[in-house]
Structure 1
Amino acid sequence: MTSRGPYRRHSTAFKLQLCQDIRAGVIGRRDAQRSHNISANLIQLWLTQFDRGDLTDEEAEASVIAEYEARIAALERKVGQLTMELDLAKKTPRMPTANNSEKSFVISGPGPAPSGGGAKP
């Protein structure tokens, strides 16, 4: 027995288009089964829903709207996260750079040797 793979969901628009094609005679049930790898029982279920009027464009539009709302919510969360990161970056002090009006020096290496007191400034 072969594995069908992970559980698949089909959009309402896909179901509606497939049912319209089958009812119009554009494609047969068996051809739809083979080309889309869908069981005959599932196609029959969709056709029953289509005949009763349960598969409508309104459902397809509602699912598209739900997908858009989820995407908008994810983008709003991302904008909030980036805003917080930007505010944090603005609040952290930065090291002075050479472009500032004040001169900046970098001193490295060992400290100066102590003088014996005989040096004059």
Structure 2
Amino acid sequence: MSSSNKSRRHAPQFKIQLCQDIRSGAIARHNAARQHTLPSNLIQLWLSQYDRGELDNEAAEASVVLQCEAQIAALERKVGQLTMELDLAKKAPRLRLVGGRENSPAIAGSQPAEGDGGVA
């Protein structure tokens, strides 16, 4: 089993639907576990939360909203980072040109080096 399967997450809507199906008798708990390859203790946890009202539609919607907000924040950070990199890249050619002009006479040898001594 891969590590991603060990920590997979399930949408609140899926949990609610599964709990509703089990509580209505449409599917048995052990059949649901086998069909969805879920541990029976996880289904029991969801059923307990469902019975306490912790898996209602409002909570599911709030969870989706929180996930979306987190994703938006991550994307905004990425856009900011890329914008800074783009600004730097736009300035880089000018910096290379300025640096190139300053270094080119010394590299080309058009100016005499100090201390050549006697070559005129």
User: Percent identity at matched positions?
Assistant: 64
The one-letter amino acid of 2:58's match is E
The one-letter amino acid of 1:19's match is C
Distance between the aligned counterparts of 1:49 and 1:73, measured in 2? 29
What residue is the counterpart of 1:86 in the other structure?
86
Does 2:59 align with 1:59?
Answer: yes
List alignment gaps of at least 5 residues for structure 2. Answer: 98-120
Aligned pair count? 94
Q: CA deviation at 1:10?
A: 2.8
Distance between the aligned counterparts of 1:72 and 1:12, measured in 2? 20
Distance between the aligned counterparts of 1:51 and 1:69, measured in 2? 28
Closer, same or farther in 2 for the Cα pair 1:84/1:26, shift >3 Å?
A: same
Task: Give the TM-score normalised by the residue count of structure 2.
Answer: 0.64
Closer, same or farther in 2 for the Cα pair 1:90/1:42, shift >3 Å?
A: closer
**Partner SS, residue 55 of structure 1:** coil
Task: Give the TM-score normalised by the residue count of structure 1.
Answer: 0.64
Q: CA deviation at 1:3?
A: 9.6
Higher helix share: 2
What residue is the counterpart of 2:69 in the other structure?
69
Distance between the aligned counterparts of 1:45 and 1:88, measured in 2? 51
